[in-house]
Structures are given as C-alpha cells and as structure tokens.
Structure 1
Amino acid sequence: MTLNIIDRHKLILKKLNADGFVNVTDLSDDFKVSLVTIRKDLKLLEEKKLLFRSHGKAIPVNPYITENPVKIKEKINASEKNRIAKAAVKTLVPHDSIIIASGTSVIEFARRIKPLEGLTVLTASLNIALILSKIKEVDVMQLGGMVRPSSASVIGPIGEKMLTEFTFTKLFLGVDGIDLDYGLTTTNLMEASLNKEMIKSSQKIIVLADSSKFNKKGFGRICELSEVDQIITDSGIDKKTKQRLLELGVELTIV
C-alpha cells in the first residue's frame, strides 16, 4: 500500500529523529516512490523549518555555522565539555610535547591539566597560555601571529612557519563542525590553515568536540576524518555517526 503524503512526512521525521539524517535514495526505496517525490517531501518539510536539505540528504538543523565570541561559546554545552576535558587529560603521559589549538573545548582541557613531568605545550590560544603559565612544571610556548579577537587566539603565516620547526607527540584540536563526508571545519579560513600545519607537526591528532558539532560545517576545511586518530565526545552522538567513525578507523571515546 502506497503511503500518503502525511504518513510519509511523519515517517521521515521519525527516521530523522532516530538516525540524525535521512537519505533521499533510501527514502525512495523504503516508500516505493520516485526520487522527485521524496525531494518534494523534503522541500515542504524544510519550508516548515522541520529539517535542512543538504546534498541528497536531510538533517535536523542548518549545518552551516556562524561565528560566536569565545565567551558565548564557553556557556554552550558546558557540562559536556567538562567531561570531554577530563577524558582528554587522561591521554597525557610524562614528557609529552603537545599542541593545544584554540576553542572552548580545549580551553576546558587546559584548565584540567595538572603538573606533569616534562610536559611541553605549544598553543595558539592566549587564554590557554595564561592558564598553563601558572603551572611551573609545564613549559609553555605561545604561538606567534595575528590575534583573532573573537577567539583570543593567533592565526597567520608567522605561526604556520613556527610550527615547521617542531615535532609534537599529540595535537588537541577543537573544531566548529564535523561532517562525515567533508571532514573537520572551522568558521575561519586562516585558523583552518594554521590547524593544517598543526596536524603536519603532530604524531597523534585528538579532536575534542561535543556531539552538537557533528553534521555541521564551518567555512574553512581543516582535514578529512581519515587524518584523525581519536575523537573525544559526549553520549549525544547518534548511532549512525558513531558507526561510521568506527568504520573509518577513528578511535572514539564517549563520555
């Protein structure tokens, strides 16, 4: 029996809520209707602001991110960032030489770092440099460059050149968006460029991102997910995203 439009819309929204996204081809096969019909269904639902269409699929919200100042971002999903930071600290070992990028998740991580023998930290974040400078057992290097006021961090070619002079055991990276097909992104193109150089200089790439960052895109692309070694996130991550990350060989830590 062919479903009517109301029933199709109900099932589309139910599947979207359960899986985090719906695929046009899969819906066409499931409902035994044409691709054109499904695209019309999704367009109608988008007009009602019940989903957002994107490249042959639909997701619950607009994936494109606008930039917010760090003081505002710190208040968003604060408890999740707290748990992520605690898990990230457990990855540190004596004599680690690490990069901490910029963003509120990695700032929370820096706040939880305790004295550790031989720990060296290079950071793009002015706030993180100030936080860690109070721990005498930690050697802190501030990356040079042009200050980006919205994130209180540095960007630009000076910092990129500085990174070529060092090798680090780990990079702790905060991002604005994680898209399973497009990869890691940030809202600032110059920050994305700096993050690429951080990746080149590091042996292990660890992304700290709460679950709201998945299925989102920022303006600047950092890298593909295949370049990421580990993602630390919270339990809000949906099952399909979790499965896809594991298939890509990403170590997933859920807190």
Structure 2
Amino acid sequence: MTLNIVDRHKLILKKLEADGFVNVNDLSKEFDVSLVTIRKDLKLLEERKLLFRSHGKAIPVNPYITEHPVNIKEKIHTKEKNKIAVAAALTLEPHDSIIIASGTSVIEFARHIKPIEGLTVLTASLNTAIILAEHKEIDVMQLGGIVRSSSSSVVGPIGEKMLAEFTFTKLFLGVDGIDLDYGLTTTSSMEASLNKEMIKAAHKIIVLADSSKFSKKGFGRICGIDEVDQIITDSGIDDKTKHRLAELGVELTIV
C-alpha cells in the first residue's frame, strides 16, 4: 500500500531523528515513489523549518553559521560557557605561556584565570586583554592587527607575523563550528588564517566550545580535528560524537 504524503513526512522526520540524516535515493526506494516526489517532500519539510536539504540528503538543522556580534553571542549558552571556562582555567600551570584566541567562550575563560607564577598570555581579543590586565602578576601581550568590530579582536598579517616570533605551551581556541569530517571553522576567513598561525605556535591545542557548535560549519576552515589535543564542552554532546572523538584520539572534557 502506497503511503500518503502525511505518513511519508512522519516517517521521514522519524528517520531523521533516529539516524541524523535521510538520503533521497534510499527514501525513494523504501517508499516506492519517484525521486521527484521525495525531493518535493523534503522541500515542503524544509519550508516548515523541520529539516535542511543538502546534496541528495537532508539533515536536522542548517549547519552553516551566521555571524553575530560578540555582545549578542555572550548572552547565548552562558551557563555552559561558564562551566567550560572553569574547567579550562584548571588546566593552567606555573610558567605557562598561552595564547587566548577570540570569541565569547575564551572571554569567559579569561574571567576565571587567577594569577599563577610566571603566567604569560598573548591574545587576539581586546576584551580578554582588558580583563587580564587587572592582574599585575600576569604578563599580557596584545596581538596587533586589524580590529574586527563584530568580535572585538584583531586579525591580519601583523598578528600572524608576531606569532611566528614566539612559542607557547597552550592555545585556548574558541570556534564557531566543529564538523568531525571537515574540522574546526569560524565565520571569518581572516580569523581562520590567524588561528592557523596560533596552532603552529602552540604545543597543545585546547578547544573551548559548547555542544551547540558541533555539526556546524563556518566560512573559514581553521584545521582538521586531528590537530586538536583537547576539547572542553558541556553535557549536551551526543554519544556518537563522544565515540568518534575517542577514535580520533582527542581528549574530551565534559562539564
């Protein structure tokens, strides 16, 4: 018996919830309808904001990120960011020389840093520099470059050249998206370029990202997951992602 459109839509959404994606060809065979019919079904469901179509399949949400100003982003997932920041501060050791990139997660991290013997911080974030400058025991270095008003952070070749002159024990990196196949991304190509130089300059790469950042993509690719040593995130991360990160050899800290 051929399914009607309502039943097809219910089954498509059920499969989407269970598997994380649906394939146009597979649905056509299973429901015994044409590819055109399935594409129309998916288009209708997308118009209702119930899924996102992509290359012969559909996924639950749009994976592509739209940039928002830092003052807006600071108000999102605040509890999760606070817990992540506390855990990140615990990784600091005496005489660490660290890079703090840009973004709201690393700004929150800066608020939880307490003076530690011999701590040196280099940062792209103007807000982070201001927060840490209150501690006379911490040596703070501000990267130079072009100031991005949306993130209150610097980008560009001046900062990239500056990074080449130093070596750091740890990099604390905030990102806009984490796709386990594609890697870490941000909404700015210039920020991605600066982040790449930060990675080259640091011994250990620590990513601070709440669980909403997973399965998302930004415009600028920073690096592959294989270049990351540790990710600190919240309990909203799903089991599939946990297992995949373990397989990739990434240390996962869940707060």
What TM-score, normalized by structure 1, do the two folds share?
A: 0.91
User: CA-to-partner distance for each residue in 1:192-225, whole Å, 9 max, x for gaps?
Assistant: 0000000011111111111111111111111111
Q: Matches of 1:56 and 1:245 in 2, distance apart? A: 26
Q: How many residues align?
A: 254
Q: Matches of 2:165 and 2:34 in 1, distance apart? A: 53
Counterpart in the other structure of 1:145: 145
Q: Matches of 1:30 and 1:208 in 2, distance apart? A: 42
Cα RMSD of the aligned pairs, angstroms, is: 2.3
Counterpart in the other structure of 1:96: 96
Whether the aligned pair in 2 keeps the contact of 1:96 and 1:119 (CA below 8 Å) is yes
Partner SS, residue 50 of structure 1: coil
Q: Matches of 1:30 and 1:108 in 2, distance apart? A: 50
Counterpart in the other structure of 1:108: 108
Change (3 A) 1:161 1:134: same
User: CA-to-partner distance for each residue in 1:66-112, whole Å, 9 max, x for gaps?
Assistant: 11111000001111101111111111111111100000000000000
Partner SS, residue 172 of structure 1: strand
Matched, 1:79 2:74: no
Q: Matches of 1:35 and 1:123 in 2, distance apart? A: 55
Partner SS, residue 53 of structure 1: strand
Whether the aligned pair in 2 keeps the contact of 1:70 and 1:103 (CA below 8 Å) is yes
Percent identity, please: 79
Give the CA deviation at 1:48: 2.5
The answer for unaligned runs of 5 or more in structure 2 is none
Counterpart in the other structure of 1:199: 199
Counterpart in the other structure of 2:251: 251
Give the CA deviation at 1:244: 1.9
Whether the aligned pair in 2 keeps the contact of 1:100 and 1:123 (CA below 8 Å) is yes
What TM-score, normalized by structure 2, do the two folds share?
A: 0.91
Q: Matches of 2:254 and 2:29 in 1, distance apart? A: 32
Change (3 A) 1:49 1:118: same
Task: Choose 177-186 or 151-160, whichever is displaced more.
Answer: 177-186
Counterpart in the other structure of 1:213: 213
Q: Matches of 2:211 and 2:230 in 1, distance apart? A: 14
The answer for unaligned runs of 5 or more in structure 1 is none
Partner SS, residue 121 of structure 1: strand
Q: Quick one: which amino acid aligns to residue 206 of structure 1?
A: I
Q: Matches of 1:98 and 1:31 in 2, distance apart? A: 54
Q: Matches of 1:237 and 1:69 in 2, distance apart? A: 25
Q: Matches of 2:75 and 2:209 in 1, distance apart? A: 14
Counterpart in the other structure of 1:67: 67
Partner SS, residue 166 of structure 1: coil
Give the CA deviation at 1:171: 0.5
